[in-house]
């Protein structure tokens, strides 16, 4: 029996949408509030700008792309530097300009089309890049779960909570039927949270101290060339990440988002969401792999579910007590869930290679895939002037160059042309 798929434009009863959206809320919450904590910004404002930015993205893309936007980790270093040297308002000015850089590139793509981009990104490049996105996050998932280091032991309550959560996520995804099969992440988080509480890992002190209502500490941007030149060049890296994230979504959902609504609209939505964040005092936004992983596991792609998640995030920004309650979810619990989420993204890359019939017995294809995987997963970094390419972004650039430089047979060329970028329709069985 084929598993149920809830498509992009599906309408669901509110009673079903709320738990589906809570899964996404839990998946994005930790990373979204961590970035402002590390950069001297307000977590409440980051939640607000994340939700509002996602709603803006949905509007600009015509409700056709189920992407959630959260705080970007790529900007942590430049934001921290600018906040320390010039102050938060000037860092926000750099964030606004970064969003406008996105908009300018989006305008260029709208004028030139995406045909050239598809030729640069055949399945032999796309598949390994998607794998890098998932596997590149693997160390973070294992670190959250407490499964790294020399002293890992089953006697550690954190490890126990992570493994219980992982087992619940696997069991819920495989064993649950009907509507419950669409909320395995929520089942795992709730079950893992209860286990963590019984193991003494949950502290409600911050919840008791938090107020029921509070207006986020919104801050207006100020503009200066120095801070802008530190922050804005990072857009080159995050735009490369955007390409990869849209590719992953295309493969998982089974639609070609490069064509419809168009890469120019997804880039514009991402950029204007970032500019909006800068105007209210939040960090730059980016599409979140955690939420892509939730969709890959649940097969629920409804944009309305993402929209409700965004609305909940905006609401949470005004209710500190509820935000503090979510923050009591122990890191090992989210680590246990993340192992499944990130691994599912990597598996989607393998699926791309298989479905596109990429022949890895050909040395050319084997070399391209191998180099992308090692550079991306190994965390290679390369400075190019004022900005740095690393991880997935660098692996993508190298993969594109290898694909252009290495000769290919006529059979390989025709196969690449017919199966071009993850943009062929994907089976949903």
Query: What sign has the CA pseudo-torsion 25, 31, 33, 35?
Result: negative
**Is 3 contained in some domain?**
no
Which of the pair, 401 or 145, is modelled with greater confidence?
A: 401
Collapsing DSSP states into helix, strand and coil, what is residue 14? helix
**Is 9 contained in some domain?**
no
- Please give the full DSSP string across 372-410, using - where no structure is assigned: HHHHHHHT-EEEETTEEEEHHHHHHHHHHHHHHHS---H
**Is 252 contained in some domain?**
yes
**What's the whole-number mean pLDDT along residues 346-362?**
79
**Is 262 contained in some domain?**
yes
* pLDDT, tens only, 231-282: 887 777 677 778 777 877 888 888 888 888 888 899 999 999 999 998 988 8
Question: Which neighbouring-strand residues pair with 300?
Answer: 6
* pLDDT, tens only, 58-85: 999 988 889 899 887 777 767 878 888 8
- Distance, in Å, from the CA atom of 215 to the CA atom of 338, rounded to the nearest integer, reads 31
**Backbone torsions φ then ψ of 153, nearest 5 degrees:** -145, 145
Collapsing DSSP states into helix, strand and coil, what is residue 128? helix
What confidence tier does 423 reach under pLDDT thresholds 50, 70, 90? very low
pLDDT score, position 132: 82
Please report, rounded to a whole number, the percentage of residues in the chain having pLDDT higher than 70. 89
**Is 152 contained in some domain?**
yes
Question: Which neighbouring-strand residues pair with 382?
Answer: 389
**Is 111 contained in some domain?**
yes
Q: Chain-wide mean pLDDT for the chain?
A: 80
Domain count, the chain: 1
Crossing angle of helices 43-60 and 14-39, rounded to 10°:
130
**Is 25 contained in some domain?**
yes
pTM summary value: 0.72
- Distance, in Å, from the CA atom of 113 to the CA atom of 106, rounded to the nearest integer, reads 10
What residue numbers bound the domain in which 123 lies? 14-419
**Is 292 contained in some domain?**
yes
Give yes or no for residue 410 having a pLDDT over 60.
no
What percent helix, strand, coil does the chain show, rounded to 5? 70, 5, 25
Collapsing DSSP states into helix, strand and coil, what is residue 6? strand
């Amino acid at each position: 029996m084929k598993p149920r798929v809830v498509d992009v434009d599906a309408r669901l009863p509110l009673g079903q949408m709320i738990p589906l959206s809570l899964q996404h809320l839990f998946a994005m919450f930790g990373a979204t509030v961590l970035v402002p904590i590390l950069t001297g910004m307000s977590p409440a404002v980051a939640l607000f700008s994340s939700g509002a930015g996602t709603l803006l993205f949905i509007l600009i893309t015509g409700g056709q792309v189920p992407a959630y936007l959260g705080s970007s980790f790529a900007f942590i270093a430049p934001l921290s530097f600018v906040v320390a040297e010039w102050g938060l308002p000037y860092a926000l000015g750099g964030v606004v300009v970064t969003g406008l850089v996105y908009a300018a590139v989006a305008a260029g793509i709208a004028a030139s089309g995406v045909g050239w981009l598809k030729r640069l990104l055949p399945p032999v490049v796309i598949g390994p890049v998607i794998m890098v996105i998932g596997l590149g996050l693997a160390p973070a998932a294992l670190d959250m779960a407490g499964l790294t280091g020399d002293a890992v032991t089953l006697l550690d309550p954190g490890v126990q909570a992570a493994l219980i959560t992982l087992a619940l996520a696997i069991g819920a995804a495989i064993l649950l039927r009907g509507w419950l099969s669409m909320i395995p992440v929520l089942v795992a988080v709730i079950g893992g949270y209860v286990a963590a509480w019984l193991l003494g890992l949950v502290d409600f002190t911050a919840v008791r101290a938090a107020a029921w209502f509070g207006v986020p500490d919104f801050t207006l941007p100020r503009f200066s060339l120095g801070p802008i030149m530190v922050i804005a060049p990072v857009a080159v890296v995050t735009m490369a990440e955007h390409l990869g994230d849209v590719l992953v979504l295309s493969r998982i959902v089974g639609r070609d988002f490069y064509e419809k609504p168009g890469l120019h609209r997804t880039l514009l939505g991402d950029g204007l969401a970032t500019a909006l964040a800068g105007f209210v005092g939040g960090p730059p936004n980016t599409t979140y792999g955690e939420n892509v992983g939730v969709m890959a596991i649940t097969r629920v792609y409804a944009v309305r579910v993402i929209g409700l998640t965004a609305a909940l995030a905006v609401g949470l920004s005004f209710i500190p007590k509820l935000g503090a309650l979510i923050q009591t979810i122990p890191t090992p619990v989210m680590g246990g869930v993340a192992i499944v989420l990130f691994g599912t993204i990597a598996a989607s890359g393998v699926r791309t290679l298989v479905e596109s019939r990429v022949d890895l017995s050909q040395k050319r294809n084997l070399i391209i895939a191998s180099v992308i995987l090692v550079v991306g997963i190994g965390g290679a970094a390369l400075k190019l002037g004022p900005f740095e390419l690393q991880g997935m972004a660098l692996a993508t650039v190298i993969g594109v160059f290898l694909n252009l430089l290495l000769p290919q047979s006529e059979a390989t060329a025709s196969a690449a042309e017919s199966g071009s970028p993850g943009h062929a329709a994907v089976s949903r069985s």
